[in-house]
Amino acid sequence: MSKEQIAIIHSDDSILVVDKPSGIPCTPDRYEKDEIPLPILLAEAWGKLYPVHRIDRDTSGITVLARTPEAHKILNAQFAEREVRKTYDALVRGFPEWTETAIDLPLRADGDREHRTVVDRSRGKDAITRFTVVEKLGPYALLRAEPETGRTHQIRAHLAAAGYPIVADPLYGDGKPILLSQLKRSWHGDSWEEKPLLARTALHARSIAFTHPVTAERLVFESPWPRDLTAVVNQLRKIFRR
């Protein structure tokens, strides 16, 4: 992925709001050390950037970076005080019985041999995520997630604990992609040549709202779905809405 493929949603002297494609880490990855993180990719054009929050490598969508240490400090304080509102869209396996729910389970990062975030009621940090069912799509469901806290892998870990792992999540689910041949019995292509409709964790950072660190204006930014998520949801709608 090149810097030319990264969409800039907003820029000023204090902040940079980016529509991050899946496959780019927000910060250096201790397990994938050869991958170039987002701030480094953008540094040539935008100078030194300070990540304000991070979304996972495979997650697409809204990411905010500060352009000054002062803006970084102010925005970090907003996150710490839970003044930032974030929403995510997730395609999960299974269909919840609830329409809306709040999962309140304490989480501990790097809690097992696979370095996953785990539910830990004694040593975990408080973690709350609100979920809304947006749409039922056969054996899948499209959910809206609003994390009130910002723990590592929070949405992924909460959904896995609830029994609704995110599609193609290699760490908290089965990691299996969605293939058209699995959905349509009439599909006649060669399975060995088939390209997945979606092969990465089906999680998208849809929107973010925060207060500008200098002007104090309340800002809201949104990110449209990328092609892979759009394609798979449209295909699921065609098949299961009949």
For residue 188, name the pLDDT band (cuts at 50, 70, 90): low
Residue 197 confidence (pLDDT) above 70: yes
Residue 110 confidence (pLDDT) above 70: yes
Residue 218 confidence (pLDDT) above 80: yes
- Mean pLDDT for the chain overall: 92
In this predicted structure, what is the pLDDT of residue 52? 94
Give me the active site residues, please. 56
Domain count, the chain: 1
pTM for the model: 0.93
With tokens 């809206």, the residue in question is 144
**Cβ partners under 8 Å of residue 103, min gap 6:** 128, 129, 130, 131, 158, 161, 162
**Cβ partners under 8 Å of residue 76, min gap 6:** 52
Q: What is the mean pLDDT of residues 76-90?
A: 97
Please say whether the beta carbons of 130 and 99 come within 8 A.
no
Interval 18-72: pLDDT, tens: 999 999 999 886 656 678 999 999 999 999 999 998 899 999 999 999 999 999 9
Residue 187 confidence (pLDDT) above 90: no
Please say whether the beta carbons of 89 and 134 come within 8 A.
yes
Q: Which of 148, 178, 151, 159 is nearest to 56 (CA)?
A: 151
In this predicted structure, what is the pLDDT of residue 200? 97
Largest CA distance in the chain: 58
Domain residues for 166?
3-240
Q: Which of 49, 81, 91, 120 is nearest to 234 (CA)?
A: 91
Q: 242 versus 133: which is more confidently predicted?
A: 133
Interval 135-186: pLDDT, tens: 999 999 999 999 999 999 999 999 999 999 999 999 999 999 998 887 776 6
Residue 190 confidence (pLDDT) above 60: no
For residue 225, the domain's CATH number is: 3.30.2350.10
Bridge-partner residues for 136, per DSSP? 141
In this predicted structure, what is the pLDDT of residue 136? 95
Point out the least confidently predicted range of 75-79, 177-181, 184-188, 225-229: 184-188
Residue 134 confidence (pLDDT) above 60: yes
